[in-house]
Amino acid sequence: MQIPIFTVDAFTSQPFSGNPAAVCLLENDLDEDLHQKIATEMNLSETAFIRKLRPGDDFTKSSCFGLRWFTPANEVPLCGHATLAASAVLFHVQKNTNSVLTFVTLSGELKARQVEDRIVLDLPLYLTYPQAAVGDMIVQDLRYSPDTKKLLVRLSDAYERSVLEELQVNAQRFLSAEKTGKVKGLILTLKGNSSGKHKGHDFYSRYFAPWYGVLEDPVTGSAHAVLSSYWSEQLGKKEMLAFQCSRRGGELKISLRNDGRVDIAGQIAIVLKGNLTF
């Protein structure tokens, strides 16, 4: 069997930065266990599988596809960067002729469209709820998103971006600290600067998901579906520019919609095209 496969760096225009995702185009149904085996073999934070929904569908002409995401450890309900990568393969490699693509996923229908040099994803917007009265020198706010099982930790506004970037995090230890299943991802976030070297970004973040086999994810669309609601409330803005401060780094353009969803836009770089053979 041969399956076309691509590696796409998401939320960046530069190869070898942003967040890499593998994308598989499935002409036919794939045995259930092979999804996880392929994702483990690729060993990226996410592998996306695009499947045709009807016998007559075509990757160039059809506008609606099934989409699933797997980490090296398990399937996840939502992945923004791998959705961006999947859209890039359809738009740029398959030359899909539709202006909008729809993906049927575990998180409902997600849409993608091209706007200038970016691909815009229409994602759910997830609310967060206060967890405790926090206000020390290190942590300024603590929120929880029950829909995504993500814990959001806002660091003090007194800190610069460099503090977040240089913070040493032993994500493996989270597994022994949190075994209840309530938390599946940890977001560290910091308010942006209006001046200085890194001016222009409204907020910064890093994201850790060892519960899904991902110690630190380079650039995370699903985390920004949570961050967008939080920072929109804090800053009083619906249009924001965010930067995820991992070693690879990536930029996300955010626009809150009036229908309770969020548009998250990013650039892409396709770095590998080939076939899986087995």
3-state secondary structure of 6: strand
Q: What percent of the chain has pLDDT over 90?
A: 95
Lowest mean pLDDT among 111-120, 124-133, 204-213: 124-133
Tokens 């996410």 found at: 46
Give the confidence band of 136 by pLDDT, cuts at 50, 70, 90. Answer: low
**pLDDT recorded at residue 196:** 63
* Burial bucket for residue 258 (CB in 10 Å: 0-12, 13-18, 19+): exposed
> Percentage of residues in the chain with pLDDT exceeding 70?
96
Q: What is the pLDDT of residue 132?
A: 74
Per the confidence metrics, is the pTM higher than 0.75? yes
Residue 193 — very low, low, confident or very high, per pLDDT cuts 50/70/90? confident
CA distances to 53, 79, 106, 132, 212 from 113, in Å = 20, 17, 20, 39, 28
> Is the predicted pLDDT of residue 197 greater than 70, yes or no?
no
Of residues 195 and 273, the one with the higher pLDDT is: 273
Above 80 in pLDDT, residue 17? yes
pLDDT at 87 over 60: yes
Which residues are marked as active site?
Answer: 46
- Cβ count near 158 (within 10 Å): 11
Mean pLDDT value across residues 31-51: 98
Asked if pLDDT for residue 135 goes beyond 70, the answer is no
Mean pLDDT of 163-182: 93
Taking the C-alpha atoms of residue 142 and residue 171, their distance in angstroms, rounded to an integer, is 18
Please, which residues have CB within 8 angstroms of residue 276's CB and are 6 or more apart in sequence?
1, 2, 3, 5, 24, 38
pLDDT for the residue 277: 96
When pLDDT is cut at 50, 70 and 90, the band that residue 64 belongs to is: very high
